[in-house]
Amino acid sequence: MGKRKSYEETLENLSFIENGRSKFPLIETHCHLDYIKSITPKENVEKSHKLGIEKLITISVTPSNLDTVLNLTNTFENVFCSQGVHPHDAKDWDKTVLGKIKENTMSSKKVVAIGEIGLDFHYDSSPRDLQMSAFEEQLELAMDLKLPVIIHTREAEDETMAILKNFPKIKGVAHSFTSSLKLAEYLIDSGLYLGFNGIISFKKAEGVRAALEMTPLNRILLETDSPFLAPAPHRGKENAPIYLPFVAQKVLEVKNISAEIGLPQIHQNTLDLFPFC
């Protein structure tokens, strides 16, 4: 077995990387900067900038990190954030948390979405009725604030569609998409985007690649979901935004399109969805 190639060596093998930098601007639409342990937020931001990643969105998931992600946007010019409560933590959802999200969002133009919100019936970390009510209330809040949503959905497809049908004008993205082609089609027809990450490079992720294949180019977003889900050939490492180019390369390969066609369109998709200041 040969020596495992370094990050720098594998990076230079990507079709759109030249001298350690992307020829086209990239945007990291979903990461958790405050959860990454092997590299500081400052190092993440600096290394991402050198790569050509012009913006990063760091995602809130619990009431306890609403302020944390917002503070990161105050520290770094090119970092933006979401505000929301993940379905795992729906048991902690209440009017006080809703008020906090609203207050933080209205106080800063760098809050670009309500999220990560949705339903997760795989782990059931919170009771399902609480997940659904928290999801609905946060969708209503997003509509009131005129912001897109970042949706997490796992093993709750029918319930996700049923709730979204009550919000036909909502804009947003189903991040880390791993669900069925039926749900993919519903979301696309509803005007939503699908977010793809390192999962598309996993050997057994044929279903996710099939969803990517059917997704129109103008409905695709790139993300890492770091520190989780590092893409091949770096699977098993702690993920970080600097692995976003590997996700982008795999998207191009699955879609069978050139970087010159694919990356500018995906970049524009991101600008179209999120209200960057």
For residue 2, the model assigns a pLDDT of 55
Per residue in 61-81, pLDDT (tens digit) is 999 999 999 999 999 999 999
- Residue 1 reports pLDDT greater than 70: no
Q: Which helix (H) or strand (E) holds 71?
A: helix 66-75
Per residue in 84-129, pLDDT (tens digit) is 999 999 999 999 999 999 999 999 999 999 999 999 999 999 999 9
Mean pLDDT of 205-217: 98
d(CA 189, CA 110): 29
For residue 129, the model assigns a pLDDT of 98
Does the CA dihedral 58-61-63-64 come out positive or negative?
negative
pTM confidence score: 0.97
Mean pLDDT of the chain: 97
- Percent pLDDT > 90 in the chain is 98
- Name the class of domain 28-80+97-273: alpha beta
Domain boundaries, the chain: 28-80+97-273
Per residue in 133-177, pLDDT (tens digit) is 999 999 999 999 999 999 999 999 999 999 999 999 999 999 999
